[in-house]
Chains A and B, each alone.
Chain A
Amino acid sequence: MNLQINGKSEALDVRPEETLLDLLRERLDLTGAKKGCDHGQCGACTVLVDGKPVLSCLTLASRVRGEVTTIEGLDQHPVQAAFLRHDAYQCGFCTSGQILSAVGLIDAGGATDADAVRQAMAGNLCRCSVYPMIIAAVLDAALAREAAE
């Protein structure tokens, strides 16, 4: 099958039971999506499919039809810059998932205030608990984008 990943078409022989997360990490060397819980509970494996945040650990690669974006597909994205400015990470394990959820949220126009961001980012856990910085970074990136428009 052909998978569209980060703007490239990848021709792959996919086993039915292979998850998108394993395929990205083990076969395409795209290790930005992390295997945290592997059961849809932590959000570290979040990627975008057609711009929407989904869990790659619960996605069977053989069923993916849309365009996949991983953290490697972002190039000095304003959300990444905002995470740097706000020091919105500590160990970094959850960060790529956090950033992709934030990109999906901002693109959908949902990052309207701190409470909306908290609700919309509820599927991304951070064991270092830098949540205040993450929320500040997401709001900052949303504001910057609004100003640019």
Chain B
Amino acid sequence: MKPFRYAKSGTFIAGGTTLVDLMKLGVVAPETLVDLADQPAGITLDAAGLRIEAGATMAAVAAHPGVAERFPAVAQALQQAASPQIRNMATIGGNLLQRTRCTYFRDKASACNKRDPGSGCSAIGGDERGLAVLGRSPSCIANYAGDLAVALVAHKAEITVLGRDGKSRQLPIGDLHRLPADRPHIEHGLAQGERIAAVWVPDQAWSFSTYVKLRDRASYAFALASAAACLRMAADGLVVDASLALGGMAAKPWPCPQAAALLVGHRLSQDVAEAVADRAYEAAEGDPKLIAVGKAAIVSALDRAARSVKAASET
């Protein structure tokens, strides 16, 4: 690892689970690190919603009983992320900004426009398994690997961004991550010196929420594809409102308002779920097998919702 020093400006380090790894690989080599060890880490629930300060560990939020009860998709996303040791170290702010797991980005011998702008992209035409099928660009097909952000997009969460001058601003979580276009090295909407201070998840009285993660093994693996769904249903089982987001398939958590709108006015069924999945991946390009896994995540999430409706009607 290239030597660095601690300073008041530079690259932020919180849990360090991504950054230290990438520093060892030589993918990043900051000269100065700003230590965020003392940043606030509170988790607060009230009638309006859930507020998580950026320094809270993934483990602390995942284990919070109120979060699991009122925001199941958020708790499920965290419980299925990384490993217990990493969840004990990693913070919520750092998790949202974790870097891609694209093999070519992590391998300094490969061309990568994200790591070295202008050098090309070895991933395109290489081993594309597990990379983006939505929002691809001719310069980058890296995906965003996080889980929590996908659940937060479905929940229409907001983040508080703190600037170097101490002033803060609110940003919809959907505006945090960026698609690559022709500048894949610009991954998020934060300015130099800005950092995430807190996450706000409004309680919108969803009847059901869930996070489905499909991967090569049942634990400690990144998502091949994931889906977060929030549904509001009337007493007769008709869907009144729905929000859907996809993970593992693009450079950002992928919101699908048009696909979710297909649910409104219908009862949940396999046919409806498949129509929603087809719409969500309408614009997808790349490996058809991977796209099929993505659709399966949506169908599975909606199947969980249908089962919960059925269970509720039987009691």
Show the binding face of A for B, using Cβ within 8 Å.
Answer: 15-17, 19, 38-40, 43, 46, 52-55, 58-60, 62-63, 65, 101, 104-105, 118-123
Q: Taking the nearest CB of chain A, how far is it from the CB of B197, in angstroms? A: 20
Please state if B3 and A123 are interface contacts (CB–CB under 8 Å).
Answer: no
Docked complex Cα distance between A58 and B220 (Å): 16
Q: Taking the nearest CB of chain A, how far is it from the CB of B8, in angstroms? A: 15
Instruction: Mark B1-16 against chain A: 1 for CB-CB distance below 8 A, else 0.
Output: 1111110000001001
Cross-chain contact of A65 among B1, B37, B86, B219 (Cβ < 8 A): B37
Please state if A122 and B89 are interface contacts (CB–CB under 8 Å).
Answer: no
B33 within 8 A of A: yes
Known: A63-B16, A65-B37, A123-B85. A58 touches B21 (CB 8 A): yes
B188 within 8 A of A: no
Please state if B5 and A55 are interface contacts (CB–CB under 8 Å).
Answer: no
B contact residues, range: 20 to 34
Cross-chain contact of A60 among B5, B20, B85 (Cβ < 8 A): B20
List 5 extra interface pairs beyond A55-B17, A58-B17, A119-B219, CB under 8 A: A16-B3, A16-B4, A54-B85, A65-B37, A123-B220
With a cutoff of 8 Å between Cβ atoms, the chain B residues found around residue A19 in the complex are 20
B83 within 8 A of A: yes
Chain B residue nearest to A19 (CB atoms) is B20
Cross-chain contact of B89 among A55, A62, A101, A120 (Cβ < 8 A): A55
With a cutoff of 8 Å between Cβ atoms, the chain B residues found around residue A65 in the complex are 37
B88 within 8 A of A: yes
* Chain B CB within 10 A, most for which of A15, A17, A59, A104: A17
Cross-chain contact of B16 among A60, A104, A122, A123 (Cβ < 8 A): A60
Known: A63-B16, A63-B35, A63-B37. A43 touches B85 (CB 8 A): yes
- Report B157-181 residues with CB < 8 Å from chain A CB: none
Please state if A55 and B86 are interface contacts (CB–CB under 8 Å).
Answer: yes
Chain B residue nearest to A122 (CB atoms) is B219
Docked complex Cα distance between A38 and B103 (Å): 17
Docked complex Cα distance between A65 and B24 (Å): 22
Please state if A16 and B5 are interface contacts (CB–CB under 8 Å).
Answer: yes
Please state if B21 and A16 are interface contacts (CB–CB under 8 Å).
Answer: no
B84 within 8 A of A: yes
Please state if B37 and A122 are interface contacts (CB–CB under 8 Å).
Answer: no
Please state if A53 and B88 are interface contacts (CB–CB under 8 Å).
Answer: yes
With a cutoff of 8 Å between Cβ atoms, the chain A residues found around residue B35 in the complex are 63
Please state if B33 and A16 are interface contacts (CB–CB under 8 Å).
Answer: yes
Chain A residue nearest to B23 (CB atoms) is A17
For this complex, 29 residue pairs linking A to B, each with C-beta atoms less than 8 Å apart, are A15-B3, A16-B3, A16-B5, A16-B6, A17-B1, A17-B23, A38-B24, A40-B17, A40-B21, A40-B85, A40-B86, A43-B85, A52-B59, A52-B88, A54-B88, A55-B85, A59-B16, A59-B89, A60-B20, A63-B13, A63-B16, A63-B35, A63-B37, A65-B37, A118-B219, A122-B83, A122-B219, A123-B86, A123-B220
With a cutoff of 8 Å between Cβ atoms, the chain B residues found around residue A40 in the complex are 17, 21, 83, 85-86
Docked complex Cα distance between A121 and B85 (Å): 9
Cross-chain contact of A58 among B2, B16, B37, B84 (Cβ < 8 A): B16
With a cutoff of 8 Å between Cβ atoms, the chain B residues found around residue A16 in the complex are 3-6, 33
Docked complex Cα distance between A52 and B82 (Å): 16
Q: Taking the nearest CB of chain A, how far is it from the CB of B81, in angstroms? A: 11
Please state if B20 and A54 are interface contacts (CB–CB under 8 Å).
Answer: no
With a cutoff of 8 Å between Cβ atoms, the chain B residues found around residue A119 in the complex are 219
